Amino acid sequence: MKTDPPKLPDWDALRGKLQDSGAAPEVLDRYDEIVSRRSFFGLVGRGGVAAALLGTGAGGYAALSGLFGRGLIPEAWAEEAEQSVSIPGKPGMIVHSSRPVNGEFAPHELADRVTPTARMFVRNNGTVPARAEARDPQGWKLTIDGEVNRPLEISLDQLRQMPATTVHACIECGGNGRVLFNPQPRGNPWARGAISCSEWKGVRLADLLREAGLKDSAVYTGHYGEDLHLGGKDEPPISRGIPIDKAMEEHTIVAYEVNGEELPGLNGYPVRLVVPGWVGSCSHKWLTRIWVRDQVHDGPKMGGYSYRVPAYPVRPGDVPPESDMVIATSWVIKSMITSPAEDFRVKAGDKVKVRGHAWAGEDKVKDVMISTDFGIHWEKAKLTKSSQKYAWNAFEAEVSFPGRGYYEIWARAFDDQGSSQPIIQPWNPRGYLGNVVHRVSGMVSA
Amino acid sequence: MRRTGITLLLSLLVCAPVGAASDADPQPGKQLFETQCGSCHGLELPKSQRLDRFNWKWVIDDMVNEFGATWITEEQQEQILEYLVEAYGPDRPR
């Protein structure tokens, strides 16, 4: 239902009424902060303030309970915020959630070899930290402690002075492809676009861990960032980790630049981890601490069913006991058609270029096969392999269609271990590591 | 007292249907879903889901036990569950 556009509120008048009602100075401060931060979302009207109040790190819970009281959120504001939200710096993003921000881009928008920063997907669990929103590096530091001989505290300047490396690497949300599971599991309905393959600059995590001096007892990392819990709970919204071997791998970096610029607020400013080829939640954003553990890390979203898959195949819809779930680690062989776009229109006999990317987690892409007849016949695409281990590889093929009708172009990648993408998506309870064959459909005219 | 005054004032100013479900409300679960769940996260994601009773119960249990929504009483959880199963069940159109 579409209603009239909201009237612009008179923020000063509202503030005056707050003051007249005897609001405490801290309430007024909070009000000022919230109103001033509207601009982050580029929104006007009540929806803008609602978005700022509720989702961007103004301390959503605190602000709301202070101003409105728990359970008294003006739903009209929230509804408006959700309907009108556009995420600054991410034009064209398909927004699954505005609070927290979660969004992806359609495959045809991800055709570039190096994903432009504006088209990097966003998967947030909590609020965007105030530092990231304000782009304020003052006071940021990274702590490395736990099972190390010399705990470190490093400023941003110190980090930038260390030997740097640049990696071209895929980061892909563990739930990318969830919408292709049947039945569709709970969670963000990611289709194909929760992946980016950008150029990240930073310091090898191995260099930092060596400087701290790993003890023999070190087996795992635990990652912490500045994002806050949406419900105001006094614990991180997410804190995941990786085995020490992956932490020491040369492409795992503590990144402070992407595509030659500082990180965007939504993607981890000022510093994030980049753990290429593994589920994206390992690549912790807004990073402040790496706790080296003597056991598998047990922070929020390491246990239960989060980022975990059954140890054996399960019937679609079945949820095995927690004890049968294992941690999802590296991605598996996968490909994506970036051209033509979904719902293509061509004429019979036209030469149609099929382009896309293929990637394989810790393995290497060997081949990409293309079918235009629902998998009856396959032809090998031309594959241009990247020199970078965790970057995606470009494929290209030329197809044509014999006559009018409904057609699908399928892409199926194979890795050097003999694995390929499944034709039917195997199921798991939370929809992780989806890699079913990509199908793009269209109509062919005579 | 002061906080109550501010709450009332802002509630009046925005003219939004806020507050706890009343006896006259034909859909207490909807109201609770919007005000309680909506106080922490956006509603477009839950509204995009089509889940059966088992999965909606799983979601609500996680929100209370894992994500700290402990102020929602068991009776309210049950009302929210009934609403979500009815409004966003597997057979509802997207």
Q: Out of B7, B45, B48, whose CB is closest to A69?
A: B7
Q: Which two tokens stand for residue A368?
A: 């990409």
pLDDT digits (tens, 9 = 90+) for A117-132: 999 999 999 988 989 9
The mean pLDDT of chain A is 88
A327 contacts A305 by C-beta, under 8 angstroms:
no
Chain B interface includes A15 (CB < 8 A) = no
Separation of alpha carbons A228 and A139, rounded Å: 17
pLDDT top residue among A54 and A406: A406
Chain A interface includes B19 (CB < 8 A) = yes
Q: Do B3 and A66 touch (CB under 8 A)?
A: yes
- Sheet (strand A94-98) strand order: A94-98, A101-104, A122-123
A315 contacts A249 by C-beta, under 8 angstroms:
no
- Sheet (strand A365-371) strand order: A344-347, A438-445, A405-415, A365-371, A379-380
Residue with tokens 């990786």: A242
Nearest CA in chain B to A15: B10
A118 contacts A91 by C-beta, under 8 angstroms:
yes
Q: Which fold has domain A117-327?
A: Sulfite Oxidase; Chain A, domain 2 (3.90.420)
The nearest CA of chain B is from the CA of A155 a distance in Å of: 32
For residue B22, the 8-state DSSP code is: P
Separation of alpha carbons A268 and A117, rounded Å: 12
Q: Which two tokens stand for residue A267?
A: 């993607």
Give the confidence band of B24 by pLDDT, cuts at 50, 70, 90. Answer: low
Residue with tokens 């939200």: A85
For residue A40, the 8-state DSSP code is: G
Nearest CA in chain B to A59: B40
Q: Do A186 and B13 touch (CB under 8 A)?
A: no
Q: Do A96 and B51 touch (CB under 8 A)?
A: no
Nearest CA in chain A to B58: A186
Residues of chain B found within 8 Å of residue A188, distances taken between Cβ atoms: 45
Nearest CA in chain A to B5: A21
Report the run of H or E that residue B79 belongs to, with start and end.
Answer: helix B74-87
Chain B interface includes A102 (CB < 8 A) = yes
pLDDT digits (tens, 9 = 90+) for A220-269: 999 999 998 887 778 899 999 999 999 999 999 999 999 999 999 999 99
Residues of chain B found within 8 Å of residue A66, distances taken between Cβ atoms: 3
Residues of chain B found within 8 Å of residue A23, distances taken between Cβ atoms: 2, 6
Name, in order, each residue with C-beta under 8 angstroms of A297's C-beta and a sequence gap of 6 or more: A220, A221, A222, A223, A239, A240, A241, A291
Q: What is the pLDDT of residue B94?
A: 83
Q: Out of A61, A96, A98, whose CB is closest to B40?
A: A61
A172 contacts A233 by C-beta, under 8 angstroms:
no
Decide if domain A334-445 falls under CATH 3.40.980.10.
no
Q: For residue A355, give the 3-state DSSP assignment.
A: strand
Burial classification of residue A211, based on how many CB atoms lie within 10 Å of its CB (0-12 exposed, 13-18 middle, 19 or more buried): middle
- Tell me the count of A-B CB pairs closer than 8 A: 121
Chain B interface includes A67 (CB < 8 A) = yes
Residue with tokens 């068991």: B74
* Domain residue ranges of chain B, discontinuous segments joined by +: 21-87
Out of 1.20.1440, 1.10.3210, 1.10.1660, 1.10.760, select the CATH number for domain B21-87.
Answer: 1.10.760
Give the confidence band of B41 by pLDDT, cuts at 50, 70, 90. Answer: confident
Give the confidence band of B36 by pLDDT, cuts at 50, 70, 90. Answer: confident
Chain B interface includes A22 (CB < 8 A) = yes
Same fold, A117-327 and A334-445: no
Which residue, among A351, A422, A387, has the nearest Cα to A181 in the 3D structure? A422
Q: Do A55 and B9 touch (CB under 8 A)?
A: no
* Domain residue ranges of chain A, discontinuous segments joined by +: 11-85, 117-327, 334-445
Q: Select the residue from B33, B35, B45 to test the A interface by mutation, using most A Cβ atoms within 10 A.
A: B45
Name, in order, each residue with C-beta under 8 angstroms of B86's C-beta and a sequence gap of 6 or more: B29
pLDDT digits (tens, 9 = 90+) for A348-372: 999 999 999 999 999 999 999 999 9
Pairing of strands A344-347, A438-445: parallel
The nearest CA of chain A is from the CA of B27 a distance in Å of: 15
Chain B interface includes A94 (CB < 8 A) = no
Residues of chain A found within 8 Å of residue B54, distances taken between Cβ atoms: 319
Return the amino acid letter for A65.
Answer: S
Separation of alpha carbons A315 and A385, rounded Å: 36
pLDDT digits (tens, 9 = 90+) for A310-341: 999 999 999 999 999 999 999 999 999 999 99
Which residue, among A207, A202, A200, A201, has the nearest Cα to A144 in the 3D structure? A207
Burial call B55-90: b when 16+ CB within 10 Å, e when fewer: bbbbbbeebbeebbbeebeeebbebbbbbbbeebee
pLDDT digits (tens, 9 = 90+) for B44-88: 999 999 999 999 999 999 999 988 888 899 999 999 999 999 999
Burial classification of residue A74, based on how many CB atoms lie within 10 Å of its CB (0-12 exposed, 13-18 middle, 19 or more buried): buried
Q: Select the residue from B1, B8, B9, B10 to test the A interface by mutation, using most A Cβ atoms within 10 A.
A: B10
A87 contacts A56 by C-beta, under 8 angstroms:
no
Name, in order, each residue with C-beta under 8 angstroms of A55's C-beta and a sequence gap of 6 or more: A81, A98, A99, A100, A101, A127, A128, A230, B42
Q: Do B59 and A189 touch (CB under 8 A)?
A: no
Separation of alpha carbons A257 and A248, rounded Å: 20
Q: Select the residue from B8, B13, B39, B51 to test the A interface by mutation, using most A Cβ atoms within 10 A.
A: B39
A299 contacts A293 by C-beta, under 8 angstroms:
no
The radius of gyration of chain B's CA atoms, rounded to the nearest angstrom, is 15
Separation of alpha carbons A60 and A124, rounded Å: 15
> Would you say residue B32 has pLDDT above 70?
yes
pLDDT digits (tens, 9 = 90+) for A71-108: 334 444 555 455 555 688 899 999 999 888 999 999 99
Could you tell me which residues are beta bridge partners of residue A167?
A200
Q: Which two tokens stand for residue A124?
A: 């947030």
Chain B interface includes A98 (CB < 8 A) = yes
Q: Is omega for the bond preceding A74 within 30 degrees of 0, making it cis? A: no
| Complex prediction ipTM | 0.79
In this prediction, residues A374-384 reach a mean pLDDT of 97
Chain A interface includes B12 (CB < 8 A) = no
The nearest CA of chain B is from the CA of A380 a distance in Å of: 37
